[in-house]
Amino acid sequence: ELKVEQNPLFLSMQEGKNYTIYCNYSTTSDRLYWYRQDPGKSLESLFVLLSNGAVKQEGRLMASLDTKARLSTLHITAAVHDLSATYFCAAGGGATNKLIFGTGTLLAVQP
Amino acid sequence: ETGVTQSPTHLIKTRGQQVTLRCSSQSGHNTVSWYQQALGQGPQFIFQYYREEENGRGNFPPRFSGLQFPNYSSELNVNALELDDSALYLCASSLAVWSGGTDTQYFGPGTRLTVL
């Protein structure tokens, strides 16, 4: 059974600093997703990673995938307050592409 | 292009009652998935519908049921509500890979269900 683990669960960081969120999954997965969720809101799609070595960047966020290590990372560069949210990774694939979500990382960027 | 919409936004029910939640897919999408997100947790897969047929189910009891209509909108029905059913219910639509899509799921705003 596919399981997804994220760490850290909570991350408090200062504006301007860099940090990385880690996402491990237990069995082979066709694709890896990153979503952002603001309090009381729905999930916003950030990245879809489909192959080993895939790297995608949008603004201050960069996601990568290592299928051999079953690891994806979300790197935050020079954090700003607007990035404060909960970030989820999710592994999918198979006939339904049902998403198995990690526990989420609550990111708080302090001025 | 319209996004995924859900109704109602909030709902309060009492234990033992039944509830129906509704979802309209993003234009052009033919697959709808439903997820339950309890407070402080990641979403959990309930089931998926593709062209009006159930196409996969998570670890939820039969009192969770669904429908998909010819226009690809969808309903989630929950019978005999329990306190633990209190959660944010999210639907997500996608265009299946075999239909020329990418399977990327786009989520609606959710329905927050409170069971008292």
pLDDT digits (tens, 9 = 90+) for B46-65: 999 988 899 889 999 999 99
CA distance B79 to chain A (A): 23
The mean per-residue pLDDT over the stretch A4-22 comes to 95
- Alpha carbon of B26 to those of B2, B23, B31, B73, B76: distances in Å? 6, 10, 10, 9, 17
Does residue A103 sit at the B interface (CB-CB below 8 Å)?
A: yes
Query: What's the rounded Cα separation, in Å, for the pair B75 and B71?
Result: 12
Closest CA to A92 of A37, A41, A47: A47
pLDDT tens by residue, A21-73: 999 998 877 789 999 999 888 899 999 998 888 899 999 999 999 999 999 99
Shortest CA distance from B39: residue in chain A: A40
CA distance A64 to chain B (A): 17
Query: What's the rounded Cα separation, in Å, for the pair A103 and A82?
Result: 21
CA distance A102 to chain B (A): 6
User: Which residues of chain B does A92 touch, with a Cβ-Cβ cutoff of 8 Å?
Assistant: 103, 105
Report whether pLDDT(A85) > 80.
yes
pLDDT at A102: 94
Query: What's the rounded Cα separation, in Å, for the pair B79 and B99?
Result: 33
pLDDT at B101: 67
pLDDT tens by residue, B70-96: 988 999 999 999 999 999 999 999 887
Identity of the residue numbered B100 = G
In this structure, are strands A19-25 and A71-76 parallel, antiparallel, or unpaired? antiparallel
- Coil/strand/helix, residue A81: helix
Contact A102 B42 (CB under 8 A): yes
pLDDT at B78: 98
In this structure, are strands A55-58 and A43-49 parallel, antiparallel, or unpaired? unpaired
pLDDT tens by residue, B1-29: 568 999 999 999 999 999 999 999 988 88
CA distance B41 to chain A (A): 6
Query: What's the rounded Cα separation, in Å, for the pair A15 and A108?
Result: 10
Provide the chain A residues 34-53 that lie in CB contact (below 8 A) with chain B.
35, 41-45, 48
Report whether pLDDT(A93) > 80.
no
Report whether pLDDT(B105) > 60.
yes
Q: What is the dihedral of CA A10, A26, A93, B24, to 10 degrees?
A: -30
The mean per-residue pLDDT over the stretch B22-42 comes to 92
- Of the candidates A31, A98, A104, the beta carbon closest to that of B42 is on A104
Within 10 Å of residue B17's Cβ, how many Cβ atoms?
A: 13
Contact A42 B109 (CB under 8 A): yes
Q: For an interface test with A, give the residue of B49, B105, B106, B114 to mutate (most A CBs within 10 A).
A: B105
Q: Residue B24 contacts by C-beta under 8 Å, 6 or more apart in sequence?
A: B2, B4, B5, B6, B73
